[in-house]
């Protein structure tokens, strides 16, 4: 009885395989006969109820049917797969003449672009580009620049202190071990003059830090451009000429500048420089002045007061401010926001 049943199943399954049109049909047939609850599987399951000799005979027959059907299904599956592959190969073409995908390349940050442009202009006027440390000693940042402890001018810089000075002796570079994030690039003036004899012309671009509330024109980090020219008879008139030339070339328009009296401990006299485009509003651009004799002394040079020594001018401008003026940017925080909508415009 089971034997007849097996033969019928075999014929039935074979027909099914022949009729199968696709992989899905084949899968269904496999499940119907050979799957967990498949008709042939059920025959295997029923074997244990049979006496030994019948069990052996039917078992062998069922196994042969199973192997035969598996082979048919495997062969037809393979055939379908090959057909599918051939079809997709026919459809998929690689067009090597199509333009490639563009790799997106970034570009330099607007502040870096401005810094490079500024450096180029000054280099063409004979200046060297110098850098100094961002972590600075209290001595170079303040004392050597004629800003003694308790001098009210120190209030102008809200400093990020890394280490407070432990010594009471403010007049000593060695004993004062205060450490800070530099609040301006001016300390590089002294560092440079200690190692180089005048005549000299340098600019010092660099990052500075101040502990202050941020708004559209203040950031806790910003870039400055320091300048220093020292020789035997450098005057404020030389300064005016150089800075006017620089601003004209940098802003690429006709501009006017004016010098206003001001105060910085490291210059005497000191002035503030304002700039305006034709008939525009005056914009405060930088501080400057004639290098104070005490700064020369701190650097180990002999000042020209009373006579026979060195003299010169120094200036300090905000690179961010220069960039803002050039590109008409109204918020300094944009430079540090990493906002691509802003950065892509440069
Ligand atoms: N260091 C000053 C500041 O951060 C700017 C400055 C003013 C630099 C006058 C100078 C100078 O060299 O002569 O505000």
DSSP structure string for 64-100: HHHHHHHHHHHHHHHHHHHHHHHHHHHH----TTSPP
Q: Report how far residue 27's alpha carbon sits from residue 67's, in angstroms, rounded to the nearest whole number.
A: 16
Residue nearest atom 13 of ligand 1, based on CA coordinates: 288
Total residue count of the chain as it appears in this document: 346
DSSP state of 18: H
Is the dihedral angle over the CA atoms 284, 223, 137, 312 positive or is it negative?
A: negative
Number of the ligand 1 atom closest to the C-alpha atom of 289: 13
Residue 251: its pLDDT value, please?
93
289 lines ligand 1 (CB under 6 A): yes
Burial per residue of 148-179, b for 16 or more beta-carbon CB atoms within 10 angstroms, e otherwise: eeeeeebeebebeeeeebeeeebeeeeebebb
Say which DSSP state 36 is in.
T
- Cβ atoms 47, 55 nearer than 8 A: yes
- Report helix, strand or coil for 321: helix
CA-closest residue to ligand 1 atom 12: 315
Residue with tokens 């003694």: 148
Tell me which residue of 267, 249, 247 sits closest to 257, measured CA to CA: 247
Residue 1: predicted pLDDT: 52
- Measure 207 CA to ligand 1 centroid, in angstroms: 14
Of 315, 318, 319, the residue with max ligand 1 atoms within 8 A of its CB, to mutate for a pocket test, comes to 315
Substitution site in 239, 288, 294, 298 for ligand 1 pocket (most atoms within 8 Å of beta carbon): 288
User: Is 145 touching ligand 1 by the criterion CB < 6 Å?
Assistant: no
- Report DSSP state, residue 199: S
Give the torsion sign (CA, 35, 40, 44, 47).
positive
Per-residue pLDDT of the chain (346 residues; tens, 9 = 90+): 566 788 898 999 999 999 999 999 999 999 999 999 999 999 888 888 889 898 899 999 999 999 999 999 999 999 999 999 998 888 888 888 989 888 888 999 999 999 999 999 999 999 999 999 999 999 999 999 999 888 887 777 789 999 888 877 656 777 788 899 999 999 999 999 999 999 999 999 999 999 888 888 888 999 999 999 999 999 999 999 999 999 999 999 889 999 999 999 999 999 999 999 888 889 889 999 999 999 999 999 999 977 889 999 999 999 999 999 899 999 999 999 999 999 999 9
pLDDT, position 82: 93
């Amino acid at each position: 009885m089971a034997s007849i049943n097996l033969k019928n199943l075999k014929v039935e399954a074979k027909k099914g395989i022949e009729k199968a049109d696709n992989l899905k049909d084949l899968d269904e047939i496999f499940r119907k006969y050979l799957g967990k609850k498949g008709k042939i599987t059920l025959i295997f399951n029923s074997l244990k109820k049979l006496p030994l000799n019948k069990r052996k005979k039917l078992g062998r027959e069922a196994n042969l049917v199973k192997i035969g059907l598996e082979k048919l299904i495997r062969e037809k599956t393979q055939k379908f797969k090959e057909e599918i592959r051939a079809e997709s190969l026919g459809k998929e073409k690689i067009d090597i003449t199509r333009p490639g995908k563009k790799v997106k390349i970034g570009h330099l940050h607007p502040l870096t672009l401005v810094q490079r442009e500024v450096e180029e202009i000054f280099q063409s006027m004979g200046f060297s580009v110098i850098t100094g440390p961002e972590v600075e000693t209290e001595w170079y940042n303040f004392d050597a620049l004629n800003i003694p402890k308790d001098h009210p001018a120190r209030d102008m810089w809200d400093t990020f202190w890394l280490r407070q000075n432990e010594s009471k002796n403010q007049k000593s570079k060695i004993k004062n071990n205060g450490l800070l994030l530099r609040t301006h690039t001016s300390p590089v003036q002294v560092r440079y003059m200690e190692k180089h004899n005048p005549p000299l012309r340098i600019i010092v671009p660099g990052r500075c830090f101040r502990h202050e509330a941020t708004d559209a024109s203040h950031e806790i980090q910003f870039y400055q451009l320091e300048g220093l020219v020292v020789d035997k008879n450098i005057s404020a008139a030389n300064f005016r000429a150089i800075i006017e030339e620089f601003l004209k070339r940098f802003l690429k328009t006709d501009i006017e500048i004016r010098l206003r009296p001001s105060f910085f401990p490291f210059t005497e006299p000191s002035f503030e420089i304002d700039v305006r485009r034709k008939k525009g509003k005056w914009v405060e651009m930088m501080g400057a002045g004639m290098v104070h004799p005490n700064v020369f002394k701190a650097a180990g040079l002999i000042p020209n007061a009373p006579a026979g020594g060195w003299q010169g001018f120094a200036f300090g401008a905000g690179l961010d401010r220069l960039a803002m003026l050039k590109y008409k940017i109204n918020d300094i925080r944009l430079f540090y926001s990493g906002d691509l909508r802003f950065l892509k415009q440069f």
